[in-house]
Amino acid sequence: MQRFEQMTQGTGAVLRPWLQAFGWRTKPYWVPYIMTQVRVAKEEGGVGFMFWNAGNDCSKPFEAMPKMCAAADQYFRRDMIGKADAVSK
């Protein structure tokens, strides 16, 4: 993310990372892993995020979401808090 930010500096490009939503090269693959990815994406300047799983199994991100919403300031930008609720209705 830092490299992309340097490469696109001054262009207005938005960094919205794809996050890993499957257990590959990680032990264990569980809710804290998902939460760490989302937190770091925010800390590194990401504008939102998207999960990727080739098998369309997003059960771990789905399980992590209520925990992240309960501590929204750690995981989401202030201007994004509450927008997911508005979109899902």
Pull the structure tokens for residue 71: 């501590």
Q: Is pLDDT above 50 for 13?
A: yes
Question: What distance in Å separates the CA atoms of residue 50 and residue 64, rounded to the nearest whole number?
Answer: 14
- Interval 27-65: pLDDT, tens: 788 899 999 999 999 999 899 899 999 899 999 999 999
Rounded to an integer, what distance in angstroms lies between the CA atom of residue 72 and that of residue 55?
28
Reference 33, options 60, 55, 72; nearest CA is: 60
Confidence of residue 66 (pLDDT cuts 50, 70, 90): very high
In this model, does residue 86 exceed pLDDT 90?
no
Share above pLDDT 90 across residues of the chain, in percent, rounded to a whole number: 52
Higher pLDDT: 66 or 89? It is 66
